Amino acid sequence: MLPERLDLAIELYRNYAFSAMVVSGGAVTYQKSEAGIMRDYLLDRGIPETAILLEDRSRNTVHNVVNCRIIMQWHGRHSCLLVSNSFRIRRMKYIMKQLNMPAYFCGKRNWRSILGRQWRLTFQEIRAYKLPLPWVKQARRTGMEEMMGNS
Protein backbone atom coordinates (compact mmCIF):
# COMPACT_ATOMS: atom_id res chain seq x y z
CA MET A 1 0.00 0.00 0.00
CA LEU A 2 3.05 2.26 0.18
CA PRO A 3 3.02 2.99 -3.58
CA GLU A 4 -0.64 3.99 -3.31
CA ARG A 5 0.04 6.74 -0.79
CA LEU A 6 3.24 7.84 -2.55
CA ASP A 7 1.35 8.15 -5.84
CA LEU A 8 -1.19 10.34 -4.05
CA ALA A 9 1.63 12.47 -2.59
CA ILE A 10 3.14 12.87 -6.09
CA GLU A 11 -0.24 13.88 -7.49
CA LEU A 12 -0.73 16.48 -4.75
CA TYR A 13 2.84 17.77 -5.07
CA ARG A 14 2.45 18.29 -8.81
CA ASN A 15 -1.11 19.65 -8.82
CA TYR A 16 -0.83 22.03 -5.87
CA ALA A 17 2.80 23.13 -6.12
CA PHE A 18 3.91 22.03 -2.66
CA SER A 19 7.46 23.12 -1.96
CA ALA A 20 8.69 19.91 -0.36
CA MET A 21 7.84 16.42 0.82
CA VAL A 22 8.99 14.88 4.06
CA VAL A 23 9.29 11.11 3.89
CA SER A 24 9.45 9.47 7.25
CA GLY A 25 10.27 6.08 8.69
CA GLY A 26 13.28 4.28 10.06
CA ALA A 27 14.57 0.81 9.33
CA VAL A 28 12.06 -1.20 11.36
CA THR A 29 11.31 -4.24 9.22
CA TYR A 30 14.02 -4.03 6.57
CA GLN A 31 17.69 -3.05 6.56
CA LYS A 32 16.87 0.03 4.48
CA SER A 33 14.75 2.72 6.11
CA GLU A 34 11.17 3.21 5.02
CA ALA A 35 12.05 6.85 4.29
CA GLY A 36 14.89 5.71 2.02
CA ILE A 37 12.57 3.37 0.14
CA MET A 38 10.06 6.20 -0.30
CA ARG A 39 12.77 8.64 -1.44
CA ASP A 40 13.94 6.18 -4.11
CA TYR A 41 10.35 5.69 -5.31
CA LEU A 42 9.82 9.46 -5.58
CA LEU A 43 13.14 10.01 -7.38
CA ASP A 44 12.26 7.25 -9.88
CA ARG A 45 9.06 9.16 -10.67
CA GLY A 46 10.74 12.49 -11.32
CA ILE A 47 10.45 14.27 -7.99
CA PRO A 48 13.60 16.40 -7.57
CA GLU A 49 15.92 15.35 -4.75
CA THR A 50 15.90 18.93 -3.43
CA ALA A 51 12.14 18.60 -2.79
CA ILE A 52 12.50 15.49 -0.61
CA LEU A 53 13.26 15.89 3.09
CA LEU A 54 14.33 12.62 4.71
CA GLU A 55 13.49 11.50 8.26
CA ASP A 56 14.93 8.03 8.74
CA ARG A 57 15.32 7.67 12.52
CA SER A 58 11.77 7.06 13.68
CA ARG A 59 10.66 3.70 15.00
CA ASN A 60 6.94 4.44 15.42
CA THR A 61 4.24 6.94 14.52
CA VAL A 62 4.94 9.37 17.36
CA HIS A 63 8.62 9.44 16.38
CA ASN A 64 7.51 10.16 12.80
CA VAL A 65 5.45 13.14 13.91
CA VAL A 66 8.02 14.66 16.29
CA ASN A 67 10.96 14.19 13.92
CA CYS A 68 9.05 15.57 10.94
CA ARG A 69 8.12 18.63 12.95
CA ILE A 70 11.78 19.24 13.76
CA ILE A 71 12.84 18.77 10.13
CA MET A 72 10.11 21.13 8.99
CA GLN A 73 11.35 23.75 11.46
CA TRP A 74 14.94 23.33 10.19
CA HIS A 75 13.70 24.08 6.69
CA GLY A 76 11.40 26.95 7.65
CA ARG A 77 8.18 25.04 7.06
CA HIS A 78 5.26 25.70 9.38
CA SER A 79 2.39 23.65 8.04
CA CYS A 80 1.91 20.29 6.41
CA LEU A 81 -0.46 18.02 4.62
CA LEU A 82 -0.09 14.52 5.98
CA VAL A 83 -0.64 11.82 3.37
CA SER A 84 -1.29 8.36 4.72
CA ASN A 85 -3.52 5.36 4.30
CA SER A 86 -7.13 6.27 4.99
CA PHE A 87 -7.40 3.72 7.80
CA ARG A 88 -4.50 5.34 9.68
CA ILE A 89 -5.58 8.97 9.51
CA ARG A 90 -7.83 8.91 12.58
CA ARG A 91 -4.93 7.78 14.80
CA MET A 92 -2.63 10.33 13.17
CA LYS A 93 -5.13 13.11 13.92
CA TYR A 94 -5.29 11.94 17.52
CA ILE A 95 -1.50 11.94 17.91
CA MET A 96 -1.12 15.33 16.24
CA LYS A 97 -3.80 16.79 18.50
CA GLN A 98 -2.12 15.34 21.62
CA LEU A 99 1.15 16.99 20.55
CA ASN A 100 -0.53 20.30 19.61
CA MET A 101 0.57 20.04 16.01
CA PRO A 102 -1.87 21.41 13.46
CA ALA A 103 -1.99 19.57 10.15
CA TYR A 104 -4.22 18.76 7.24
CA PHE A 105 -4.79 15.14 6.29
CA CYS A 106 -5.33 13.30 3.06
CA GLY A 107 -5.89 9.62 2.41
CA LYS A 108 -7.08 7.84 -0.67
CA ARG A 109 -9.34 4.82 -0.68
CA ASN A 110 -8.93 2.35 -3.46
CA TRP A 111 -11.59 -0.36 -3.77
CA ARG A 112 -8.96 -2.95 -4.59
CA SER A 113 -7.09 -2.09 -1.38
CA ILE A 114 -10.26 -2.01 0.70
CA LEU A 115 -11.43 -5.38 -0.56
CA GLY A 116 -7.92 -6.83 -0.36
CA ARG A 117 -6.18 -6.03 2.87
CA GLN A 118 -7.22 -2.59 4.07
CA TRP A 119 -10.19 -3.92 6.07
CA ARG A 120 -7.83 -6.18 8.08
CA LEU A 121 -5.42 -3.32 8.63
CA THR A 122 -8.28 -1.13 9.83
CA PHE A 123 -9.02 -3.58 12.63
CA GLN A 124 -5.31 -3.74 13.51
CA GLU A 125 -5.29 0.06 13.59
CA ILE A 126 -8.17 0.10 16.08
CA ARG A 127 -6.19 -2.23 18.37
CA ALA A 128 -3.09 -0.04 17.92
CA TYR A 129 -4.86 3.12 19.08
CA LYS A 130 -3.52 2.89 22.66
CA LEU A 131 0.05 2.03 21.66
CA PRO A 132 1.26 5.60 21.06
CA LEU A 133 0.25 6.90 24.50
CA PRO A 134 3.62 6.25 26.24
CA TRP A 135 5.46 7.76 23.27
CA VAL A 136 3.24 10.86 23.36
CA LYS A 137 4.11 11.30 27.04
CA GLN A 138 7.82 10.95 26.25
CA ALA A 139 7.56 13.49 23.43
CA ARG A 140 5.87 15.97 25.76
CA ARG A 141 8.64 15.46 28.35
CA THR A 142 11.36 16.23 25.83
CA GLY A 143 9.48 19.28 24.61
CA MET A 144 9.52 17.83 21.10
CA GLU A 145 12.87 19.50 20.49
CA GLU A 146 14.91 16.30 20.30
CA MET A 147 14.78 13.73 17.52
CA MET A 148 13.29 10.41 18.59
CA GLY A 149 14.32 6.92 17.47
CA ASN A 150 17.65 5.54 16.30
CA SER A 151 20.55 7.90 15.78
Distance CA 35, CA 67 (A): 12
pLDDT band for 78, please (50, 70, 90 cuts). Answer: confident
State residue 37's pLDDT score.
94
Each residue of 8-51: pLDDT tens digit?
Answer: 999 999 999 888 999 998 887 778 999 999 999 999 999 999 99
Among residues 50, 57, 62, which one has the least CA distance to residue 35? 57
Report phi then psi at 124, rounded to 5.
-65, -40
Task: With a cut of 70, say whether residue 123 has pLDDT above it.
Answer: no
Mean residue pLDDT of the chain comes to 83
Q: What is the pTM (predicted TM-score) of this model?
A: 0.78
